Amino acid sequence: MKVLMFGWEFPPHIAGGLGTACYGMTKGLAENGVEVLFVMPSASGDEDQSSVRIINASDVSCRMVSDDIDEFLGKVSFLHIGSNMVPYVSPEEFPYVVEEERLRQKNEFRIQFGSKYRFSGKYGKNLMEEVARYAAVGAEIAMENDFDVIHAHDWLTYFAGIAAKRVSGKPLVIHVHATEFDRSGENINTEVYGIEKRGMEEADRVITVSDLTRNIVINKYGIDPAKVVTVHNAVDFGGRDDMEVSRSVKEKVVTFLGRITFQKGPEYFIEAAAKVLKRCDNVRFVMAGSGDMLARCVRHVAKLGIADRFHFTGFLRGADVQRMFALSDVYVMPSVSEPFGISPLEAMRTNVPSIISKQSGVAEVLKYAIKVDFWDINAMADAIYALINYPAMAAMAARCGMDEVNALKWTAAAARIKKVYESVTGKQ
């Protein structure tokens, strides 16, 4: 089976967990005998292509002639020939006539869409323009390649998935890693919400990363429950060796690692840190990441008078993430809304006991992480205090957590995704 997969990022160049998930998923699919063509806006050439073929959208000749996405999708719709209503043609001649007509339409399409668009692949101010142009490139790529099913990750690629479906007639699977309600609470961006809803409605199946997200898709977007399937994420440990690090501090280290945005709950982590530091001084806190709340969090730490025990590292990637986990004694993910959350799995794999919010999808699959409500800073502080002051408790959490995450492999998750492909294609 061959999949045309649309993503926005792929390691080593990532901005969050989406690219990491795509990497692990494609490796797992390869182990399940699924061939993946992975399209991304701007490839650098250093991506690992051992389990996937990367298609760089910036290398594809295609120029959008309409600023209106609906008008564009109407233009690509006519390219798919799904009817056998061709008069005065014998059954023997029919396949040749269809192919001739397809090539003619393809050439006309290229007259209108003839040049390359250089994607930034970032999340900047022209993001909506890139999303629309990515859809045009998606149609072009779908015409050029043979595949059985289309798989589009997150709202940035949904229009590309729809365009590819219109052109090819192949089934579309939409993968929801997060929704606008996770990112913005109730103050949603209606344009993003509209794209998400459109993608889910046009999809043949919708995969969600947790039951928490599945409920949002059904209740907030009005999607038929029969076509929404939960496949929990896993974590890829390939290429990671146990890392030996030397510590320059003797205190325990408690780490927050993720985007410093409202969704991730960084201020609850800061408040809990202040409470712990009132009870003991054998601990330092680290906030690793970047985001729109970084400056506010720095001010918050200064206002609480804990700046001498609180450190900001900025955004970390690759080996630096692994090194940060190796330096940590406790990991905390206090997310307000987390569709899944791979970072606790990575921490636990590094033998770091973890505290996670009950409002996270990963809480559905972990038994040996300590779970607290994101807003309950007293419970969060108590859990941190216990793990840094009671070695037996921390050792048990680390040992059981390691065994637990080792069982959450992408090969198994990919096998479930393959079954979703089979349900929409009818192929085994």
Per-residue model confidence (pLDDT) at position 219: 96
176 within 8 A of 213, measured Cβ to Cβ: yes
The model's pLDDT over 384-411, given as tens digits with 9 standing for 90+, comes to 999 999 999 999 999 999 989 888 889 9
The model's pLDDT over 206-243, given as tens digits with 9 standing for 90+, comes to 999 999 999 999 999 999 999 999 999 887 766 555 66
408 within 8 A of 345, measured Cβ to Cβ: yes
Q: Which residue has the tokens 């840094």?
A: 388
In 189-309, the DSSP E strands lie at 205-208, 228-230, 252-257, 283-288
Confidence of residue 319 (pLDDT cuts 50, 70, 90): confident
105 C-beta neighbours (distance < 10 Å), count: 16
37 within 8 A of 147, measured Cβ to Cβ: yes
Which residues lie closer than 8 Å to 65 by C-beta, 6 or more apart?
A: 112, 113
CATH domain 2-234+411-425 topology:
Rossmann fold (3.40.50)
**Sheet of 53-56: strands edge to edge?**
53-56, 35-40, 2-6, 149-153, 172-176, 205-208, 228-230
Question: Biggest alpha carbon distance in the chain?
Answer: 87
Domain positions in the chain are 2-234+411-425, 252-406
Q: Which residue has the tokens 């559905």?
A: 364
76, two tokens = 């690509």
The model's pLDDT over 336-377, given as tens digits with 9 standing for 90+, comes to 988 998 889 889 988 999 999 999 999 999 999 999 999 999
The domain 252-406 is placed in CATH, from the list 3.40.50.150, 3.40.50.2000, 3.40.50.970, 3.40.50.300, at: 3.40.50.2000
Q: Do domains 2-234+411-425 and 252-406 have the same CATH topology?
A: yes
> What is the four-CA torsion angle of 186, 189, 195, 200, rounded to 10 degrees?
-10
Helix (H, G, I), strand (E, B), or coil: what is residue 295? helix
254 within 8 A of 177, measured Cβ to Cβ: no
